[in-house]
Chains A and B, each alone.
Chain A
Amino acid sequence: LAKTTQPISMDSYEGQEVNITCSHNNIATNDYITWYQQFPSQGPRFIIQGYKTKVTNEVASLFIPADRKSSTLSLPRVSLSDTAVYYCLIEGGGNKLTFGTGTQLKVEL
């Protein structure tokens, strides 16, 4: 199974762009990379998923280099409500699921 490494915490201010990187050196060929967001007292919720290059949706972008050994979640112009824990997940299907340890993002005024 892939192993993942994320920074424990990050601080930012409202309006800034935040980039959170996840390292996954032994990702398998068929694995996908997914990011989840978790607020206190709630379960994680899906943000974005990708396999390679760049994926963008209405809330975030996901950058994956050619070697796929890392991925970067980019949150444009964060607000206070983006304060949460962010997890990367390497998905190989079925029970092949490896979550990172999570990054606590704190956004201040």
Chain B
Amino acid sequence: DVKVTQSSRYLVKRTGEKVFLECVQDMDHENMFWYRQDPGLGLRLIYFSYDVKMKEKGDIPEGYSVSREKKERFSLILESASTNQTSMYLCASSSRSGTARPTDTQYFGPGTRLTVL
């Protein structure tokens, strides 16, 4: 089974702190994603990476950055956390699609619930 793990299930930080959320996948997937999930808004893509050291902005990249130094690890960084970044953060990975499908099935981690005080 594909396993995607996230470093913390719950995290509480203070405004202005630098926050690192870590995600690791064990299936040698090329693609990795970071989403945030908020009530009434569903999942929104923050950043996407299709290879080591490669990244693309999603719908809501403002206030976030990412790092992918190794294939299995994708980090989300909040340079200066703010209260409006309180949310559930979900990481996902997928293989590179070798068919007409634009994206192969995504496998999600359990999520990190971040609270910024």
Q: How far is the CB of A62 from chain B (nearest CB, A)?
A: 14
Q: Do A44 and B102 contact each other (CB < 8 Å), given the known contacts A87-B42, A95-B48, A101-B42?
A: no
Q: How far is the CB of B115 from chain A (nearest CB, A)?
A: 16
The yes or no answer to A55 lying at the interface (CB within 8 A) is no
The yes or no answer to A49 lying at the interface (CB within 8 A) is yes
CA distance A96 to B44 in the complex (A): 11
Write the residues of chain B forming the contact surface with A, with a CB cutoff of 8 angstroms: 4, 33, 35, 40-45, 47-48, 50, 56-59, 90, 92, 97, 100-103, 105-111
* Contact in complex: A93, B110 (CB < 8 Å): no
Can you give 18 contacting A-B residue pairs, CB < 8 Å? Answer: A42-B111, A43-B90, A43-B107, A43-B109, A43-B110, A43-B111, A44-B106, A45-B108, A46-B107, A49-B101, A87-B42, A91-B101, A93-B97, A95-B45, A99-B42, A99-B44, A101-B40, A102-B42
Q: Provide the residues of chain B in CB contact with A30, threshold 8 Å.
A: 102
CA distance A106 to B48 in the complex (A): 32
* Contact in complex: A42, B110 (CB < 8 Å): yes
Q: Give the interface size class of chain A.
A: 20 to 34
* Contact in complex: A44, B41 (CB < 8 Å): no
The yes or no answer to A1 lying at the interface (CB within 8 A) is yes
Q: Given B56, B105, B109, which contacts A94 in the complex, CB threshold below 8 Å?
A: B56
CA distance A45 to B41 in the complex (A): 18
CA distance A93 to B48 in the complex (A): 11
